[in-house]
Structure 1
Amino acid sequence: MAVGNIYVIAAIAVIGGGLFGFDISSMSAIINTRAYLCYFHQGPIKFDENGVQECNGPTADVQGGITASMAGGSWLGALISGFLSDILGRKTSIMVGAVIWCIGSVIVCASQNIPMLIVGRIVNGFSVGICSAQVPVYISELAPPTKRGRLVGLQQWAITWGIMIMFYISYGTSFVDGPAAFRIPWALQMIPAILLFFGMMLLPESPRWLARRDRWEDCLAVLTLVHGKGDRNAPFVLREYDEIKGMCEFERRNADVTYLELLKPNMINRTHIGVFTQIWSQLTGMNVMMYYISYIFSMAGLEGNNLLVSSSIQYVINVIMTVPAILWVDRWGRRPTLILGAIGMLTFLFANGGLMASYGHAAPAGGLGGIEAQSWIIRGPPSKAVIACTYLFVAVYAISWGPVSWIYPPELFPLRVRGKANALCTSSNWAFNFALGYFVPPAFVNIQWKVYILFGVFCTAMCLHVFFLFPETGGKTLEEVEALFTDPKGIPYIGIPAWKTKSQRRRAVHLEQTGVAEDEEKRTNATVQHNELTTAEPPEA
């Protein structure tokens, strides 16, 4: 018997997001440890005056390649997930991703050299690409409009939990001697994938995918299980079933779906919005903060255990500050959350850039501690301000772009293209994740504090982009969102300007409770009252 509680369904499915979090901190917590730096050391072997080997690890370029290799695999995995999801279903594709993650983790754990480590991370990335693209689609196709943002946003919360848990595991194993210091956490990251695989066996398939396969009885059974509490005639179940049926009948009159359809006139606008949502989420600089936080805090004067513990604080902030977004993003709406988030992030990025430029100076040749990317030094009260601004930046991202960048893209597209569309959007996330993971260590070497200014400019651009072109989708059914982009005949048109669109949460709550939209109910009541007045017998004289 499948699980029908939508919160349990989401809690199991978003473990797929946790895999990405595990990868982030398994790298950020390890790249500054002596075990990692010595095992993957490049260049001539040198010893200090005490006869202890100097371990500088990979060069900045190579470390960028190691970090970015996971994102490269994720880009390919996200693209392929569109075909996989349409053929096998949302549920099965996520289970395939879990199996691939275990294979990649075995290779990473057993890595004997840098090429083997990169191959393992590419395989892991392939898994993350599949899960990160299809988990939001799966949840959005099961969730009611009033809870869709909250439930899809759980993916980001799972990512933050994965980051924090893996960081502390890696911190604990950093006290172990030898390569076991990094092999143990790289092996333990298989556990969530195993839980995900077996957990997904208990969950239903997406009712909208079942409808596309003409499995109407199964579709109705899932809607009854998740939304009807066993009652096939519940108003909301019947309403959802009719909307899905109507959308499927309309879509069958259209051509078969390929990625090229996403570039056609009736899709290009929403494709551009979905793709840029994911691109901008990377250009905020957040994942740079996550992967290379130890570099940043080292430049601010933190060392040893103090460095790792201080770095971990931002992961705790990330977990805690994601909670308000999950609880209230459906009330706030997508647009205000994204716009205010961009404003907050650009403020702290420019503040950090200004502090480093005004109070810092270049590190000696070869970088601080022999690590090239640690190319700048800032000390005293300004260094504490840099750390504080970094924490505040993380808090703003966690409450805004973190969850909404996963919630928003699946809401934009009709059923027939949703799997491939979200795969394309997510692949753009991973393409930029790859580019930035590779770019940042050399950027710290070459442009130093100006890295912060660069990401501050990106946050300014994304704020303007969202204001003028991103419509509000909060509180609308997935079928109603279609009306934002096309007329009743499916012809693309320019409707209400993005800045005038509003959340319809109140209407959605009424619809979920009664099965009838509030405005439809008012029209029906008015008609009934009119008929009663016109048919009533005239009063006696």
Structure 2
Amino acid sequence: MSPIPWDLPAWVPQRSSVACALLVLTSCVTSTTLGFDGSMMNGLNILPSYTDYFTLTTATMSLNTASVWMGSIIAACVYAKVPDWIGRKWGLFFGAVFTIVGVVIQTAAQNIAMFVVARILIGIGTGASSIAGPVYLAETLPVRYRAWGLGIFFDFWYVGGLIAAGVTYGTAKMDSTWAWRLPSILQGLFSLMCLSLLPFTPESPRWLHSQGRTQEALVALAQVCSNGNVDDPAVVIQFREISDTLTFEKTYEKPAFMKQFANSASTRKRIFLAWTVAVFSMLSGNNIISYYLGPMLTQAGVTDSTTQLEINVILNAWCLVVALIGTVLMDKLGRKTLAAASTAFLTVFLFLIGGLTKAYGNSTNQSGIYGTVAAIFLFQGAYSFGWTPLTVLYPPEVLNYSIRSVGMGIYTFWANGVGLMVTFAFPYALSAISWKTYMINGAWDVLELVIILVTWVETKGRTLEEIDENLDGQLHSDVPTLQTIMGVAPQEREGIIGALDLGAAKEIEATGTVVEVSKG
């Protein structure tokens, strides 16, 4: 399919910092909507006005809650290549539109079937955004902002969750179906925000370059890196890296993804690393708390619905703060260290939740009940510290351009497939085996930790093209790395820009000295 012949209008602010902030806000619609959805369903599953209206059983409660994952799985299957065909911005645009349509139908739902169809449409929208959004941010944000930008991308899960928790706490007092319809309609506000901000952000320079629109790509790169200055050394070096790497991929990589996967160990490694994030971020135990906090608290001994809603609000605020701390430390600690630390601590706390639930779940021991609630907070804090910012940061970093969109489709398929399994199965597990559910999940988390320590590669501080060295064993461009140029005095950078022949570039890398070579 050829690219569409028109673009979304772009009135990009002159200052790069403003443009980058708008980029992050535009793409964060995905996680904010998902966070709102998870916390909203948590609240609705506690509200009698919702459960009584649909006459919910364990099966229908699971279906209503998990159907959003079904839609995301559909999106993963049919939307993976769409951002390659029409652009990253249009990919995000249509994801937001699908979400809004689903929200309207969900708000007007008259029966379970209508509610489920609406949530599937919301899932398609958020699934499409989950593919386009991280790719768009990773390819457009400069290196210095990529970690916090993509980290905040999913930190906003808790912004949406906190808003939804507060809204459902407030609407719980309504004596009508608006107790659950009002939270439903508010879920669409984030998609409307996305649509309103898209005209003020540039298209991905890497996508533009891949379409042969090199001058537009250079301008887009300058808009986010150097306040629009196309002659800035960092812009020139990165543009050359992008150009060389895309040329290499078109020349040496197989055109079909399956051929790449079959013939390239590097491609298989990249897909595997993205797969680990998809599965581990969903199957670490967090989804039990995200969607079924009410039943968890009931088993722990906290049975009052108002108290449960209050805990839901406080828990989302706590997780947001911890996730932001993890995001700030992302470039200092590194992706692998943060993932390992987060997984190790959440494993300990999940076992602790299981033990405390067994000991005090059916008792009136207030100290034991408070201890269980504290363990839930510690578990969610440990998860939020690492996995929340890593969820959509690491996959697009390890996927190279030729497979990035398809790879994120595979990532979205697995993330939502596991999410569907968890949200549908855990109510039955909690009902049937109670505290043992946490123990089984904790044992799986131990395996997660081993895989991270053995297989993950570090990606901090490098451009997307420079990360190839970590996975392919070599760079695919002859220019010096971005860190090289940023490590010398400003007046010397002109020499680096001139030193774009292979020999001079290698000398710069080896010695850190600037070699004067004519641009001609």
TM-score (norm 2): 0.88
Q: Is 1:210 aligned to residue 208 of structure 2?
A: yes
Q: Give 1:334's aligned residue.
A: 335
Q: Is the 8 A contact 1:330 1:505 kept in 2?
A: no
Q: Give 2:271's aligned residue.
A: 271
Secondary structure of the corresponding residue to residue 52 of structure 2: helix
Tell me the distance in 2 between the aligned counterparts of 1:505 and 1:398: 31
Q: Give 2:121's aligned residue.
A: 123
1:227 to 213, 225, 228: 225
2:49 to 13, 16, 35: 35
Q: Is 1:463 aligned to residue 449 of structure 2?
A: yes
1:201 to 199, 202, 211: 199
Q: Give 2:24's aligned residue.
A: 10
Cα displacement (A) at 1:12: 2.4
1:23 to 17, 37, 57: 37
Relative to structure 1, is the Cα distance of residues 350 and 334 closer, same or farther in structure 2, using a 3 angstrom cutoff? same
Relative to structure 1, is the Cα distance of residues 304 and 325 closer, same or farther in structure 2, using a 3 angstrom cutoff? same
Q: Is the 8 A contact 1:300 1:379 kept in 2?
A: no
Tell me the distance in 2 between the aligned counterparts of 1:511 and 1:353: 54
Cα displacement string for residues 351-393 of structure 1 (whole angstroms, at most 9, x for unaligned residues): 11112223334xxxxxxxxxxxxxxx67421111110000011
Q: Is 1:453 aligned to residue 439 of structure 2?
A: yes
Q: Is 1:311 aligned to residue 312 of structure 2?
A: yes
Cα displacement string for residues 402-460 of structure 1 (whole angstroms, at most 9, x for unaligned residues): 11121101001111111111221122111100000000100011111111112211211
Q: Is 1:91 aligned to residue 89 of structure 2?
A: yes
Q: Is the 8 A contact 1:81 1:134 kept in 2?
A: no
Code of the residue aligned with 1:196 in structure 2: it is C
Relative to structure 1, is the Cα distance of residues 505 and 158 closer, same or farther in structure 2, using a 3 angstrom cutoff? farther
Code of the residue aligned with 2:429 in structure 1: it is A
Tell me the distance in 1 between the aligned counterparts of 2:314 and 2:376: 11
CA RMSD of aligned residues (A): 2.4
Code of the residue aligned with 1:268 in structure 2: it is R
Secondary structure of the corresponding residue to residue 261 of structure 1: helix
Alignment of 1:4-153 (within 5 A): 4=16, 5-41=19-55, 58-153=56-151
Cα displacement string for residues 308-345 of structure 1 (whole angstroms, at most 9, x for unaligned residues): 10222111111111111222201110011000101110
Q: Give 1:294's aligned residue.
A: 294
Secondary structure of the corresponding residue to residue 201 of structure 1: helix
Q: Give 2:236's aligned residue.
A: 238
More moved, 258-267 vs 330-339: 258-267
Q: Percent identity?
A: 25
Relative to structure 1, is the Cα distance of residues 327 and 488 closer, same or farther in structure 2, using a 3 angstrom cutoff? closer
Cα displacement string for residues 166-221 of structure 1 (whole angstroms, at most 9, x for unaligned residues): 11111111111121111111112111111111211221100000111111011011
Tell me the distance in 1 between the aligned counterparts of 2:484 and 2:361: 54
Tell me the distance in 2 between the aligned counterparts of 1:450 and 1:290: 18
Code of the residue aligned with 1:82 in structure 2: it is A
Q: Is the 8 A contact 1:475 1:507 kept in 2?
A: no
Cα displacement (A) at 1:300: 2.5
Tell me the distance in 1 between the aligned counterparts of 2:422 and 2:486: 41
Q: Is the 8 A contact 2:245 2:465 kept in 1?
A: yes
Which ranges in structure 2 are unaligned for 5 or more consecutive residues? 1-10, 498-504
TM-score (norm 1): 0.85
Secondary structure of the corresponding residue to residue 212 of structure 2: coil
Q: Give 1:44's aligned residue.
A: none
Q: Give 2:255's aligned residue.
A: 256
Relative to structure 1, is the Cα distance of residues 359 and 298 closer, same or farther in structure 2, using a 3 angstrom cutoff? closer
Alignment of 1:122-521 (within 5 A): 122-253=120-251, 254-258=253-257, 261-266=260-265, 267-302=267-302, 303-361=304-362, 379-488=365-474, 510=487, 521=508
Cα displacement (A) at 1:234: 0.5
Cα displacement (A) at 1:145: 2.2
